[in-house]
Structures are given as C-alpha cells and as structure tokens.
C-alpha cells in the first residue's frame, strides 16, 4: 500500500517537474537560439556524462545495500569520496587547464554538486523517504533554474552554466537539511568492489549512449545540430519523468523481494509499473507523436523541417520506455553482467548505423534510435527468460498503444497538427483510457481497496 501510494504521489510530482522542465527548455531555446542551446547542451552532456563514467556506481550501491534499514556503508562512503572522487575531480580540472579551457573549474564544481546531490537522494529512496527524495530531486533544483531564468534580465552562456550548477547545490542543501529524518543503520557491511565496478561499467555504457551522441553531433555538425540533438534528447528526459521517479521508488523493493526470493510478487510489481507508466507514456506520446509540428514550434520555428526525425525518435524512445525499468530491475536482481553485455551489443549496433548513414547530417540521431531499440528488446527478453514467462502479452501491449496510434491517424485525417484544443482533448481521452487500464492491475486494486477501508474508518 505504501509503495503504491508513493508511485501515485510520484506521478503528481513528475507532472509538476515535467511542466517546469518544459518551460525551462522553451525559455532557453527562445532566448539563446538553437545554436546557443547546442553550446549549453554540450556542457551539461560533459557534466552528466562524466558523472556516469566515474561516480554513479556509488548511487547504485546505496540502492542495493541500504534497502534494509539496519545496514550502513558510512565507512565505505568516506573512503570512496576521499580517495576516489576528489582525486578524479582534481585530475579533470588539471586536464582542462592543460587544454587552456576557462570552463574547466566551473565544470568540476558542477560535477561535484551533481554527484553529492544525487548520491544523497538515492539514500532517501533507499530508506523509504520517497516524498522528500522526489521533491528534492525533481522539483527543487528545477525551480531554482526556472526562477533564475525569470529574474535575470540578461542571459548568456556563463550565466546559464552558473544556474545549472546552482540547482545541484540547492538540491544538496535540501537533502542535508532533511537527513535527520533518515533511519540510521548500525550494521556496517562490506561493499563489494566487484559489484560497484559492474554498476559502473553499466553506467559507462549509459554515458556513451546518452551523452556521446550529443558531443559527437557538436563536433561533426556544429552547435545548431547539437542543439537539435539536445532537443530530441529532451524526449528521453521526459521519459525519465515516467520511469525515473517510479524506478527510484521501486528499485529498493526489487532488491528486497529478490533477497527474500518472492519471485511471484516481483513479477506482479514489474507488471504494475508498466501499466502505471503507460498513463504518462500515453499522454507524452500523444503530444510528441501526434503533434510534432506544434511541439517544435514552441521551441523554435527553425526546427519545423525536422518534424520527421523528431517523430521517429519519439516513437523509438517511448516504445522502449513502455516495457518498464529493465536495466534497474536486472541490476537489483544480480544480473549486472548480462545487462552490461546487452548494452554493449546495442552500442555496436549504434556504431554500425553511424557507419551506414555517415553521409547524412542526422546519422548520430539514427544511431541513437537504433541503440535504444536494440537494448530495450535485449533487456526485456532477458527479463522474460529470467521469469520463464512473457511479462506483458501482445494483446495487452497493443491495447495500451492503440489509442496513441489512432490519435495520430485522426490528426492527419482532420489536419489538426497545429491545434492546441485538439492536443488537449486527445491528451485527456488517452490519459483516462490508460488510467482505467492501470486500475485493473491486481496490486493497484488491492492498494485502492486498502485506501478506501482506511477512509471509511
């Protein structure tokens, strides 16, 4: 009951976060243009990519080892920061100084607070403080960014980067302030360096997948195409609003259920996540797939010629998002090795597509779409084999996706591509359809019944 309530609470929080994020990105692209947005995207790709390459294994360790309230890894964390994090940050700063890049120190500061904020956040989720974790991670930082953009009269590249850094500093302060609410484990446990490395290898692949394409697009295509790639990557960011909070709520539960070997409950929980996620996939899919011209016009009129690639990428990302948090599930059930192997296979597929379409200015985006689809199919197939059953039947899957496809068909037939009213109507109808589907899930039904009983009391 508590977990299901947390999921529905996360839905409300992610709606607010998605709105804030959407306003921020529209504000940025209209203020600095697509090329300026490309320069900004390059910086954040470096910060978030470096965090994935070097530090995100610590976050996964928090999720895995702190899912039981009695455990603690304080000794490991102190050594990790002192003998690993700080030397790497110094090395990165020295590297940028040798390249005579004036943004190196700012990048290192941003990277430090990015790591600290998300490391603290993962502890909150592991200890069951989902509300404080969700608000801190998805609302606080973005609110700082938006308020800063609205207050400042002049916006240039340096100011944008300062605001980007400031949001993670405020997030870190938020988590430090509320740390007193966390359960303090007394059982100090040994952290497996092998497991940390397996987690880290997985996230190195994530860095290649999520951030290398934008960096390469900047190198080979310039700031404008990097800006376009950045806007298309917003699709994945909005998908993180679907799977991110929900996965963070349930990853410790995956770990707990796996430890106690409750495989039946584990499978039911995974299916429930898919059904709940489809509520937001339906809403976002309606907008991105049904009204791409309207969405791109909000960002910048220069992007209208790229509606086709925008729609294609949207379909790829949303389709894979609808099969659930595959990577998180495999990592929390000690399937890190096969999970990493699947990701490397998908990267080979991405590079192969880059070679085939190398003469196209959009070759980076084509490869990214191929990688997402190949990885999603491989990870989902691995989970089905692990359960010895198909997680979601083809009929149920089509039932969840059919309204989105019918919506796109109606838009084309009645030429509603630029109608805000039509977008609003389709979003409401398809959102309600998927909400009803989610209510038919056994675990959701059980949670609703328990909630109603408590209200009657």
Give residue-wise pLDDT tens across range 18-56.
Answer: 788 888 888 888 888 888 888 888 888 899 999 988 888
- Asked if 276 and 294 count as a contact pair (C-beta separation under 8 A), the reply is no
Distance CA 368, CA 352 (A): 11
Mean pLDDT across 83-98: 91
Q: What is the DSSP letter of 82?
A: I
- Asked if 418 and 296 count as a contact pair (C-beta separation under 8 A), the reply is no
Distance CA 436, CA 159 (A): 45
Helix (H) and strand (E) counts for the chain?
19, 2
Phi/psi class of residue 100: alpha, beta or left (left: φ > 0; alpha: ψ in -120 to 50)? left
Mean pLDDT across 345-365: 91
Distance CA 186, CA 73 (A): 9
Distance CA 392, CA 439 (A): 16
Quote the number of domains for the chain.
1
Mean pLDDT across 433-446: 80
pTM of this structure = 0.75
306 alpha-carbon distance from chain centroid: 24
- Asked if 7 and 456 count as a contact pair (C-beta separation under 8 A), the reply is no
pLDDT of residue 250 exceeding 70, the answer is no
DSSP for 27-70? HHHHHHHHHHHHHHHHHHHHHHHHHHHHTHHHHHHHHHHTSSTT
DSSP for 402-415? HHHHHHHHHHHHTT
pLDDT of residue 356 exceeding 80, the answer is yes
351: containing domain:
2-456
pLDDT of residue 3 exceeding 70, the answer is no
pLDDT at 13: 79
Kindly give the residue spans of alpha helices, DSSP state H, lying in 66-192.
74-80, 86-98, 104-126, 130-135, 141-151, 157-177
pLDDT of residue 89 exceeding 90, the answer is yes
Residues 6+ apart with CB under 8 A from 417: 291, 292, 293, 294, 411
Mean pLDDT across 379-404: 83
What is the tens place of the pLDDT at every residue in 181-207? 777 777 778 877 777 887 787 788 778
């Amino acid at each position: 009951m508590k977990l299901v309530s947390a999921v529905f609470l996360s839905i409300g929080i992610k709606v607010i976060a998605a709105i804030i994020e959407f306003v921020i990105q529209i504000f940025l692209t209209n203020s600095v243009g697509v090329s300026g947005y490309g320069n900004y995207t390059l910086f954040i790709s470096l910060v978030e990519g470096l965090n994935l390459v070097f530090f995100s294994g610590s976050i996964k360790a928090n999720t895995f080892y702190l899912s039981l309230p009695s455990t603690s890894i304080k000794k490991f964390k102190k050594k990790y920061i002192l003998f690993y994090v700080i030397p790497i940050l110094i090395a990165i700063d020295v590297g940028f100084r040798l390249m005579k890049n004036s943004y190196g120190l700012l990048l290192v500061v941003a990277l430090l607070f990015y790591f600290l904020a998300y490391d603290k956040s993962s502890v909150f989720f592991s200890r069951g403080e989902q509300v404080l974790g969700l608000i801190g991670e998805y609302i606080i930082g973005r609110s700082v960014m938006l308020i800063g953009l609205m207050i400042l009269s002049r916006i240039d590249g340096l100011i944008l980067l300062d605001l980007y850094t400031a949001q993670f500093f405020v997030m870190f302060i938020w988590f430090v302030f509320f740390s007193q609410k966390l359960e303090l484990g007394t059982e100090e446990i040994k952290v497996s360096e092998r497991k940390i490395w397996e987690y880290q290898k997985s996230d190195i692949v994530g860095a290649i997948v999520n951030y290398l394409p934008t960096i390469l697009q900047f190198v080979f295509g310039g700031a404008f195409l990097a800006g376009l790639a950045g806007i298309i990557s917003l699709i994945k960011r909005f998908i993180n609003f679907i799977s991110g909070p929900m996965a963070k709520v349930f990853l410790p539960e995956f770990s707990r259920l796996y430890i106690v070997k409750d495989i039946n409950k584990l499978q039911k929980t995974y299916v429930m996540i898919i059904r709940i996620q489809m509520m937001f996939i339906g809403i976002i899919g309606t907008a991105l797939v049904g009204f791409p011209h309207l969405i791109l016009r909000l960002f910048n009129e220069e992007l209208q010629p790229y509606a086709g690639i925008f729609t294609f990428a949207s379909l790829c990302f949303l389709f894979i998002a609808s099969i659930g948090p595959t990577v998180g599930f495999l990592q929390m059930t000690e399937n890190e090795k096969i999970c990493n192997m699947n990701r490397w296979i998908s990267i080979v597929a991405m590079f192969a597509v880059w070679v085939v379409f190398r003469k196209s200015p959009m070759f980076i985006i084509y490869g990214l779409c191929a990688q997402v689809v190949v990885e999603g199919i491989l990870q989902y197939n691995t989970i089905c084999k692990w359960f010895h059953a198909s997680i979601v039947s083809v009929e149920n899957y089509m039932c969840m996706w059919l309204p989105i496809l019918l919506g796109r068909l109606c838009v084309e037939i009645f030429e509603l591509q630029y109608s805000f009213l039509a977008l609003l109507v389709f979003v409401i109808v398809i959102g309600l359809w998927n909400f009803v589907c989610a209510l038919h899930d056994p675990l959701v039904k059980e949670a609703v019944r328990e909630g109603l009983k408590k209200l009657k009391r």
